[in-house]
């Protein structure tokens, strides 16, 4: 009888591992432009997901390119985030950059952004979901206009 329960427990464990689903990407909820005390700017986006699994996991953000007005701003490599079980959650995607970034590029592009009061921000790359030996990549390709001034 003990052997039967051991095999049953092993079978159920293996079945539950096969039933791990990738958390569902629901989009970027909002993008904010903030100013730090040292004069640098921070571009923050919140990626929203829903985890349908009874098991949690981790998200690893790796090599997401951030483009502003179709020009490269930075690569985003962030820390690892815990994924809660059976609920919606958000992970922040933050990029610090120097305000002189706009001076280095096309001056007309910077003036156009200031006149129109918006930046076109584009995120592209991969986020990885890791749970109990499973490593699932997510492709991120998202664009949004951000207001410079409120």
CA 39 from centroid of its chain's CA atoms: 25
- pLDDT tens per residue, range 49-105: 898 888 888 988 877 898 888 888 888 877 788 999 889 999 888 888 777 776 665
DSSP SS3 for 117:
coil
Answering whether pTM is above 0.85, one says no
pLDDT of 13 > 90? The answer is no
Q: Say what the pLDDT of residue 35 is.
A: 82
The residue extents of the domains of the chain are 22-147
Q: 7-11, 78-82, 88-92, 112-116 — which is least confidently predicted?
A: 7-11
CATH class of 22-147: mainly beta
- Which of the given ranges, 83-92, 105-114, 138-147, has the highest pLDDT on average? 83-92
Q: Say what the pLDDT of residue 89 is.
A: 92
- Which two structure tokens, joined as six digits, stand for 92? 């922040």
Q: With bands split at pLDDT 50, 70 and 90, how would you rate the model's confidence at 132?
A: confident
Of 107, 91, 55, 96, nearest in space to 73 by CA: 96
CA–CA separation, 84 and 110 (whole Å): 40
DSSP per position, 73-100: EEEE---EEEE-SSEEEEEEEEEEE-TT
CA–CA separation, 31 and 33 (whole Å): 7
CA–CA separation, 110 and 80 (whole Å): 34
CA triplet 129, 132, 136: central angle to 5 degrees? 25
Under 8 Å CB-to-CB from 145, ≥6 apart: which residues? 118, 119, 120, 121
């Amino acid at each position: 009888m003990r052997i039967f329960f051991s095999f049953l427990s092993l079978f159920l464990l293996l079945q539950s591992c096969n039933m791990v689903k990738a958390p569902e990407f629901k989009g970027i909820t909002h993008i904010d432009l903030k100013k730090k005390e040292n004069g640098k700017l921070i571009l923050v986006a919140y990626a929203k997901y829903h985890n349908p699994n009874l098991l949690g996991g981790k998200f690893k953000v790796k090599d997401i390119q951030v483009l502003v007005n179709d020009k490269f701003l930075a690569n985003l490599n962030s820390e690892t985030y815990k994924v809660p079980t059976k609920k919606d959650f958000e992970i922040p995607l933050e990029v610090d950059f120097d305000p002189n970034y706009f001076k280095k590029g096309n001056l007309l592009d910077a003036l156009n952004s200031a006149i129109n009061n918006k930046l076109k921000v584009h995120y592209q790359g991969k986020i990885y979901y890791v749970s109990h030996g499973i490593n699932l990549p997510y492709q991120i390709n998202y664009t949004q206009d951000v207001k410079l001034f409120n």
